[in-house]
Amino acid sequence: DSGVTQTPKHLITATGQRVTLRCSPRSGDLSVYWYQQSLDQGLQFLIQYYNGEERAKGNILERFSAQQFPDLHSELNLSSLELGDSALYFCASSGTSGSEVLFFGPGTRLTVL
C-alpha cells in the first residue's frame, strides 16, 4: 500500500459525459501528479501540482483540467469524453517538486462507451 488513494476504482460512462477522478496523496506529500496509461501510448504525464499550484503540464488535453485543494487532495476533471479517453488514470505523490521517487495510487479505470 503506497498511501496514495484514488476514487473511484472503476468508472463506466458514455461519450460526451464529464467525470471527476479524486486523489489523496501520502500524508505529508505536497506534490501530486496525474498520469494516463493506455495500451498504445504507454504512461503519459498529464499534470503536476505542488502545494496547490500548477507546477508542470504534460500531454493534457484542453478537455481535461485538474486542481489541488488546500488539504492537498487533487481532482482530475475529464469532459466531453471520447472513446479514446478510455484508460487507466494514475495519481502519484512525492515529497518534493523535483523528479524524485513517485508513489502511485491504485488507479481509476475509465471506460467510455
Partner 1 sequence: SQQGEEDPQALSIQEGENATMNCSYKTSINNLQWYRQNSGRGLVHLILIRSNEREKHSGRLRVTLDTSKKSSSLLITASRAADTASYFCATGAGSYQLTFGKGTKLSVIP
Positions touching partner 1 (CB under 8 A) are 2, 4, 33, 35, 42-43, 45, 48, 55-56, 58, 88, 90, 92, 97-107, 109
Residue 61 vs 88, nearer CB to partner 1: 88
To partner 1, the closest distance from the beta carbon of 86 in angstroms equals 14
To partner 1, the closest distance from the beta carbon of 72 in angstroms equals 17
Amino acid at 86: S
Q: What is the dihedral of CA 80, 112, 6, 10, to 10 degrees?
A: 150
Residue 28 vs 98, nearer CB to partner 1: 98
To partner 1, the closest distance from the beta carbon of 59 in angstroms equals 8
Residue 79 vs 109, nearer CB to partner 1: 109
* Beta-bridge partners for 16: none
Residue 28: helix, strand or coil by DSSP? coil
d(CA 104, CA 44): 14
d(CA 113, CA 94): 33
